[in-house]
Amino acid sequence: MSKKWIAVLVATLLAGSACADEASLKKSIEATYPKVKVESIVKTPYAGLYEVFLDGQIVYTDDKFSFLIAEGRLVEPKTKRDITGERLDELTRVDFSALPLDQAIKVVKGNGSKKLVVFSDPDCPYCKRLEQKELTGITDVTIYTFLFPLEQLHPDAGNKSRAIWCAPDRAKAWQDWVLNGQLPKAQGTCDTPIEKVAELGKKMNVTSTPTLIFADGKRMLGAYPAKDIEKAMAGAASAKK
């Protein structure tokens, strides 16, 4: 047998072994945590660690599942690279073009050239802070707001979401509420996409508000400062060129 074929055989055997290890590890994790959905398992180049992506987060373990590192960051000391952060960005990236934007409230500022999606709960204090303190100063952007009431935390958020969506001018009703605390006076009834948005959020593993999604699919959790949001939008725009 030639050296070339020996190398191919060895590589095939190693790949098969790696797949077997990952499959076995997946079974062990799911047996221990039956309610957890394991999305992917990848062996890292660091000390036998395996990266496990589950429920929207990254944890680390070994091939025997003899320990679990949760809520920790894997950082490359020499370069200061946040390996965990980079991988989370990659694993949670969204196909922006596939989002059902007709189910969102559309607010256009300036020429609207930049794009931003926000999952927002009408009664979420951080969502109001985002709108009042950060987004108000950003121009030339189209903001698509998906009403995403977390009714287990805010029991009246669903009612407010329906009132805003059914208003004659949804964009104005949303701005009146988040900026001035004023709901539409005439609260009509209509078909709303709120249940569909809830399913979308579940599918995308959106668990908190505000969740921001940029044109390149990157997501950001929380009421980040305007400068960080603008930087992310600029990065998304340059990535598309």
Q: Would you list the DSSP string of 163-231?
A: HHHTSSSHHHHHHHHHHH----SS------SHHHHHHHHHHTT--SS-EEEETTS-EEES---HHHHHH
Query: Do both 180 and 152 map to the same domain?
Result: yes
Query: Do both 86 and 109 map to the same domain?
Result: no
In the block, residue with structure tokens 């991988």: 87
Query: Do both 159 and 213 map to the same domain?
Result: yes
Q: Could you state, in chain order, the average pLDDT of each consecutive group of 10 residues for the chain (241 residues)?
A: 35 39 87 88 89 87 87 84 86 91 96 96 96 94 97 92 94 95 83 96 92 94 94 84 59
Query: Do both 44 and 68 map to the same domain?
Result: yes
Per-residue confidence (pLDDT) for residue 35, from 0 to 100: 85
Per-residue confidence (pLDDT) for residue 19, from 0 to 100: 46
How many Cα atoms occupy the beta-carbon half-sphere of 195 within 13 Å?
Answer: 2
Range of the domain at 210: 96-239
How many independent structural domains does the chain possess?
2
Per-residue confidence (pLDDT) for residue 96, from 0 to 100: 93
